[in-house]
């Protein structure tokens, strides 16, 4: 008999399963240093969110946080998610569950990793599950906002030098009446911060090829955590050069030319305008 999560509480198990298997497959195709970078990205982004909310009356104990951390790297891929759902069912409010409990477990995993008490393989598994849990429940923490003006951020992957395509795309969309913010030549941290603070919920990311796969994957993971209700489209030469990688990034759309980009963004805009969650 197929096992089920004990209680959904708005948690989307199908999103958890899909995201977890995509991110695990993606990591298997990347070099070890890229896997390390992605694991650090999840740990730092998720644990960093814990300072953004005031403390609540019902807090997870250190024992609970430790139990969750080890559940996230156990052989049971659902164990961590089941503990999260159990805490929700027990009355812990949703902000505390994710911004204290899950964030605390992410921070502890980072400490265990730094002290060589867990392996890179374990941390890669644990961070994939943390990311998947966040993706499966982001609509609970961050309700989708309705928007009224056609607008988007277009950005090139950090360290990318081939930017003519994204510049041209920005000009063509502006000609069509879109409000486009173009961001290029920025570091990873600066780009994530600027996109997070921007008023836009459509993000077009351009990558020039397979060589930038790791940077693009890291950027998407960072944006999914820092701006979880935004829609992301991937475009550029990477769509043709590395379709196997692109299919595992969890993007909301892909485009390999201007016409497909226009069709894709128009469709995502319709969903955003209707207030549809991811």
What is the structure's pLDDT at 274? 79
At residue 52 the predicted structure's pLDDT band, cuts being 50, 70 and 90, is very low
What is the structure's pLDDT at 240? 94
Domain 151-273 CATH assignment equals 1.10.3730.10: no
What is the structure's pLDDT at 1? 32
Say whether pLDDT at 251 is over 60.
Answer: yes
Which alpha helices (DSSP H) does 149-246 contain, by range?
164-175, 188-197, 213-226, 238-241, 243-246
Domain boundaries, the chain: 13-141, 151-273
pTM of the model: 0.90
Q: Which of residues 49 and 37 earns the better pLDDT score? A: 37
Q: What is the pLDDT of residues 191-228, one digit of tens each?
A: 999 999 999 999 999 998 999 999 999 999 999 999 98
Say whether pLDDT at 153 is over 70.
Answer: yes
Q: What is the pLDDT of residues 228-241, one digit of tens each?
A: 889 999 999 999 99
């Amino acid at each position: 008999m197929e096992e089920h999560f004990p209680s959904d509480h708005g948690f989307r198990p199908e999103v958890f399963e899909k995201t977890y298997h995509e991110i695990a497959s993606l990591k298997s195709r990347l070099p070890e240093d890229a896997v390390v970078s992605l694991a650090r990205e999840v740990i730092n982004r998720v644990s960093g969110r814990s300072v953004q909310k005031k403390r609540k009356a019902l807090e997870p104990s250190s024992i609970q946080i430790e139990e969750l951390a080890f559940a996230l790297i156990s052989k049971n891929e659902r164990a961590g998610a089941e503990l999260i759902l159990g805490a929700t069912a027990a009355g812990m409010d949703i902000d505390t569950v994710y911004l204290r409990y899950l964030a605390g477990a992410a921070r502890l995993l980072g400490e265990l990793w730094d002290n060589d008490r867990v392996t890179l393989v374990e941390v890669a598994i644990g961070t994939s599950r943390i990311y998947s849990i966040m993706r499966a429940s982001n609509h609970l923490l961050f309700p989708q906002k309705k928007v009224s003006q056609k607008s988007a951020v277009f950005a090139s992957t950090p360290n990318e030098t081939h930017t003519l395509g994204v510049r041209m795309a920005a000009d063509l969309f502006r000609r069509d009446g879109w409000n486009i913010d173009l961001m290029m030549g920025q570091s990873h941290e600066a780009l994530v911060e600027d996109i997070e603070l921007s008023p836009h919920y459509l993000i077009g990311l351009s990558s020039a090829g397979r060589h930038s796969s790791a940077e693009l994957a890291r950027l998407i993971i960072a944006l999914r955590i820092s701006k979880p209700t935004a829609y992301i489209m991937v475009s550029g030469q990477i769509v043709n050069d590395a379709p196997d990688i692109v299919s595992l990034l969890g993007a909301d759309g892909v485009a390999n030319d201007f016409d497909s980009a226009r069709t894709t963004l128009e469709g995502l805009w319709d969903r955003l305008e209707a207030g549809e969650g991811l």
